[in-house]
Amino acid sequence: MADKERVVLAYSGGLDTSVIVKWLQVEKNMDVIAICGNVGQDEKDLSWIKQKALDMGAIASEAVDMRKEYADTILSKEIWANGKYEGIYPLLSALSRPIIAKYLVDIAHQYGATYIAHGCTGKGNDQVRFETCIRALDPSLKILAPVRDWDLTTRDSEMKWAKEHGVPVPTSHDKPYSIDDNLWGRAIECGVLEDTWNEPPADIWTMTENPENCPADPETVVIGFEGGVPTSINGKRMSLLDCITEADEIAGRNGFGRIDMIEDRVVGIKSRECYECPGAMLLLEAHHSLETLCLDAETLRQKAKLDVEWASTVYRGFWYSQNREAIDAYNAYTQKYVTGDIRIKLCKGGIFVDGLRSPYSLYDYHLATYDEGDTFDKTASDGFIKIHGLQSKTWSRIQGPGSELNWDK
Ligand code: ARG
């Protein structure tokens, strides 16, 4: 008998991917290798997940700790790029998929698998990201998306199939939200949140205090950066991974880091999304403030445009792409100078940057001061403004205020 084809599955331990472990064996006659990535999600003990896949007949199952690599190779670039999709969302789900995809492809090669399977639905962004990343890393691998393709469309039919095939099903029927979490924060969707007028219920938040109940006294934190990446908190040197965990604690207890937004998915759907990313938002704010001190005006203007482009590129699944790598090359140059300290006060859900310093600071006291020691040559301003405003003068004479062509008339 010929060997069965092998498939590597991105496995979470939940109902959908557990049914998939069995479904791939029963319906597709494949050998399943289940991979559970530790990207810093709330579930810390992955050994039971690994075992659960084996119990359901997977030929191999691995729990892989991806946290350090995730922080050092992906989140560091996210911080460089001040990455926020539609100006708000710090991309947490979009950032974890590329690292998981990379491991899925590597492990497929190790096991001689020809397929990769994932448990994403057909309506979300994550299917787009997984599959786009996998195609970029190894176009010869074939992809299976059982949840998108199977006919177990309702939860009841899925539960029935699971019971018939010995897949453990959750005892309670209600699964109020769809949650995706990792080092960079939590995404909460579905359930009552699907009505955009419903206030998010208090129980969706687990990383942040309710700002109304936070201490009235502000807390101050100093975040140190080297080359655009956080390297210390309150003077204590630590890895990026630890900086994120520490920043989560500090911002979380001060009620900072909640987002409730309408977001435009890649597949054309507007969706209501709640996110909790206290550490991510604190570090991003600190980073951007430090850039204002260390980068010149032209570079800041250019980088702001590239930041928007970077976020959109990564959101749409193009982590492994020429465009993202090219923008990161620009960032690698600019970030050489983003070194220094930012002091931030946190209070009842708000944050306020109140101190900045850097060995590469472009702030020149002698140019800025209105006191003693001023070195700015004011005599040059008059001539400068005459030339600077020349186009306004010309416009005004020909089309502007008082001209025949003025639209207001
Ligand atoms: N809307 C967010 C994004 O596309 C979050 C997705 C969360 N995924 C999930 N399976 N709940 O990045």
Residue 173 has pLDDT above 70, yes or no: no
- Hey, CA dihedral for 98, 102, 105, 111, is it positive or negative? negative
Chain centroid offset of residue 126 CA: 12
Phi-psi region for residue 315, left (φ > 0), alpha (ψ -120 to 50) or beta?
Answer: alpha
Token readout for 37 is 């990535």
DSSP 335-398: HTT--EEEEEEEETTEEEEEEEE-TT----HHHH-SSTT----GGGHHHHHHHHTHHHHHHHHH
Question: Ligand 1 mean position to 261 CA, how many Å?
Answer: 13
Which of 42, 65, 156, 178 is an active site residue?
178
Q: Whose CA is nearest to atom 1 of ligand 1?
A: 273
**Average confidence (pLDDT) over 150-159:** 82
Does the C-beta of 273 come closer than 6 Å to ligand 1? yes
Contact 37, 130 (CB under 8 A): no
Domains in the chain, start-ordered, CATH in brackets? Answer: 6-173 (3.40.50.620), 179-295+338-357 (3.90.1260.10), 365-398 (1.20.5.470)
Does the C-beta of 94 come closer than 6 Å to ligand 1? yes
Among residues 326, 342, 257, 242, the alpha carbon closest in space to that of 291 is found at 342
Average the pLDDT over each of 77-81, 84-88, 405-409 and give the range with the smallest value.
Answer: 405-409
Whole-number pLDDT of residue 401: 79
pLDDT per residue over 290-309, tens digit each?
A: 999 999 999 999 999 999 99
Whole-number pLDDT of residue 126: 97
Confidence of residue 402 (pLDDT cuts 50, 70, 90): low
Name the pairing type of β-strands 340-347 and 219-226. antiparallel
Question: Ligand 1 mean position to 347 CA, how many Å?
Answer: 29
Q: Whose CA is nearest to atom 12 of ligand 1?
A: 93
Q: Whose CA is nearest to atom 6 of ligand 1?
A: 93
Token readout for 329 is 């090359």
Phi-psi region for residue 191, left (φ > 0), alpha (ψ -120 to 50) or beta?
Answer: left
Whole-number pLDDT of residue 144: 97
Determine the atom of ligand 1 nearest the C-alpha atom of 266: 4
pLDDT per residue over 109-153, tens digit each?
A: 999 999 999 999 999 999 999 999 999 999 999 999 999 988 777
